Amino acid sequence: MQHYPDVDTYIASYPTATRRLLEQMRTTIRKAAPQAEEVISYGMPAYSLGTKLVYFGGHQQHIGFYPTASGIREFEQELSRYKFSKGAVQFPLDKPLPLALITRIVKMRLKKVTEQQALPTAAAPSPFATLAAPAQRALLSHHIKTLKQLAKHSEAEILAFHGVGPGSIPSMRKLLADAGLHFKA
Q: What is the pLDDT of residues 6-18, one digit of tens each?
A: 999 999 999 999 9
Hey, where are the domains in the chain?
Answer: 7-118, 133-178
97 pLDDT band, cuts 50/70/90, is very high
pLDDT value at residue 134: 86
Mean pLDDT, rounded, of the chain? 91
50 three-class SS: coil
| Helix H or strand E encompassing 83 | strand 83-84
pLDDT of 176 strictly over 80:
yes
Highest mean pLDDT: which range of 7-11, 114-118, 159-163? 7-11
The answer to whether 101 and 72 have CB atoms below 8 angstroms apart is no
- Three-state secondary structure string covering 114-133: HHHHHCCCCCCCCCCCCCCH
pLDDT value at residue 119: 56
CATH placement of domain 7-118: 3.90.1150.200
- What sign has the CA pseudo-torsion 73, 77, 78, 83? positive
pTM here is 0.64
DSSP-assigned beta bridge partners for residue 45: 40
CA 15 and chain centroid, separation: 28
**Residue, of 126 and 123, whose pLDDT is higher:** 126
pLDDT of 123 strictly over 70:
no
